[in-house]
Amino acid sequence: MAMLRPPPLVAGAPSAAAPGRVTMPMFHGDVSLGEAEVFPVKPGPEGTLPFPSNEIRISHLSPASERCPPLAILQTIAPFSVRCKLLGKGLTPHPSLHRLYLTCFHEYKSAVVVVGDEELHLVAMPSKTEKVSCFWCCSVRAGLYASSVGMLNLRCLAIVFDLDETLIVANTMKSFEGRIKNLSHAMDVEDDPVKVAGMSAEIKRYIEDRELLKEFIETDSVTDNGRIVGTRKEEVQPIGTQERLLRPVIRLPERNAILTRISPEIRDTSVFVKLRPAWEDLRSYLTAKGRKRFEVYVCTMAERDYALEIWRLLDPEANLISLDNISERVVCVKATSRKSLQHVFKDGGCHPKMAMVIDDRLQVWDEKDQPRVHVVPAYAPYSAPQAEMANAVPVLCVARNVACNVRGGFFREFDENLLKKVFDLVYEKELLDLPYAPDVGDYLVCEDTNFIPTNKDPAPIPDGMSGSEVEKRLNGRAHQGAQKQIPSSTRLSDDTRVATRGNLAGSNAQSNGSSLPITPLLFVTVLQEIGRLCNAKLEFKSTVSTIRTTVFTVEVLFSNENVGSGIGKTREEALAQAAEKALQNLQSNYLSFIAPIAGGFNNDTSKSPGSGNGFLEDVDSDGDIPMQEPSGSTSEQKGHSTVDRLSSVISLIRELCLEDQHVVFRDQVRNPGSATNEEYHFQVELAGQILGNGIGVNKDFAKLQAAEEALRFLKTTTDPQIKKHLRPVSCNS
- DSSP letter at 416 equals I
Asked if residue 161 lies in contact with residue 73, where contact means CB atoms within 8 angstroms, the answer is no
Instruction: For the chain, give the mean pLDDT.
Output: 76
Q: Is the pLDDT of residue 496 over 80?
A: no
Residues 643-662 have a mean pLDDT of 72
List, for residues 127-160, the tens digit of each pLDDT value.
Answer: 988 778 999 999 999 999 999 999 999 999 999 9
**Per-residue pLDDT, 662:** 63
Residue 723 has pLDDT above 60, yes or no: yes
Q: Using alpha carbons, select from 630, 640, 615 the residue that is nearest to residue 525.
A: 615
Higher-pLDDT residue of 494 and 657 is 657
CA atoms within 13 A on the CB side of 616: 21
Angle at 632 between CA 626 and CA 637, to 5 degrees: 115
User: What is the per-residue pLDDT across 556-606, written as a single tens digit (0 to 9) for each?
Assistant: 888 778 888 888 877 777 888 888 888 877 765 554 443 433 333 333 333
d(CA 483, CA 363): 10
DSSP 352-372: GGGEEEEES-STTB-GGGGGG
Question: pLDDT value at position 576?
Answer: 82
Of residues 450, 592, 444, the one with CA closest to residue 524: 444
Residue 351 scores a pLDDT above 80: yes
- The residue among 667 and 115 whose pLDDT is bigger is 115
**How many Å apart are CA 84 and CA 45, to the nearest integer?**
13
Please say if the pLDDT value at position 376 is more than 90: yes
Strand, coil or helix: what is 730?
A: coil
- 47: confidence class by pLDDT, cuts 50, 70, 90: confident
Nearest to 361, CA basis, from 279, 300, 421: 300
Helix axes 641-656, 699-716, angle to 10 degrees: 30
CB 582 within 8 A of CB 562: no
Q: How far apart are CA 311 and CA 392, in angstroms?
A: 27
Do you know the residue count of the chain?
733
Closest CA to 216 of 158, 255, 161: 255
Cα separations in angstroms, 37 against 23, 88, 119, 135, 181 = 4, 6, 20, 10, 76
Q: Strands of 103-204 (E only): list them.
A: 111-115, 118-124, 134-141, 157-161, 168-171
Rg of the chain's alpha carbons, rounded to an integer? 30
Residue 291: what pLDDT? 79
Q: Mind listing the pLDDT tens digit for each residue in 622-637?
A: 333 333 433 444 444 4
Per-residue CA distances from 176 to 209, 275, 522 (Å): 8, 17, 38
421 pLDDT exceeds 60?
A: yes
How far is the C-alpha of 152 from the C-alpha of 76, rounded, in Å? 9
pTM above 0.85, yes or no: no
Q: What is the mean pLDDT of residues 392-421?
A: 91
In this prediction, residue 160 carries a pLDDT of 98
Is the pLDDT assigned to residue 312 strictly greater than 70? yes
pLDDT tier, 547 (very low <50, low <70, confident <90, very high otherwise):
low
Q: What is the pLDDT of residues 101-115, one digit of tens each?
A: 999 999 999 999 999
**What pLDDT does residue 589 have?**
54
The DSSP-derived string for 27-70 is: EETTEEEEEEEEEESS-GGGG----GGG-EEE-EEPPP-SSS-H
* CA gap 582, 559 in Å, rounded: 12
pLDDT score recorded for residue 480: 33
Alpha-carbon distance of 284 to 331, in angstroms, equals 23
Please answer whether residues 602 and 514 qualify as being in contact, where contact means their C-beta atoms are separated by less than 8 angstroms: yes
CA distance 245 to 176: 27
